[in-house]
Amino acid sequence: MARLRNVVALLSLIAVVGTASVALADALVVIEVRAGKDFAEGTVRLKAKSGGKTYECATSRGKCTLDGVTGGLYTVTMVPRNAKPPKPRTVMIPPSGRVELHVSLTK
């Protein structure tokens, strides 16, 4: 009987830990920046609207990634190297998964 209780307790613990790891997952944000048909270079920032963390990456061939982004509302800003910056915009990042974010610049 004690052995059965230990097995049930262990299975319950595994279920709780498995659920917690899914709940705590963060998103991978893949960013692509273009000026017309060409890739553009610069720095992309995601700043949490709630006053939380800011994430930043520099593009290479118009692309960069941010891993471990916590889900929520963010303001996206782009500081391009050779173009006019776009207006900041608000995006929703889900709590987990892969997100593609496209930023367009004017030449």
pLDDT in 10s for each residue of the chain, 107 residues: 555 444 344 444 444 444 444 455 799 999 999 999 999 999 999 999 988 899 999 999 999 999 999 999 999 999 998 878 899 999 999 999 999 999 998 76
* pTM, full prediction: 0.73
Domains of the chain, start order? 26-105 (2.60.40.10)
The structure tokens listed for 20 are 């917690």
64 backbone dihedrals φ, ψ, rounded to 5°: -160, 165
- Using alpha carbons, list the distances in angstroms from residue 57 to 9, 16, 97: 44, 34, 18
Spatial distance between the Cα atoms of 10 and 34, rounded to a whole number of angstroms: 52
Tokens of residue 60, six digits: 């290479």
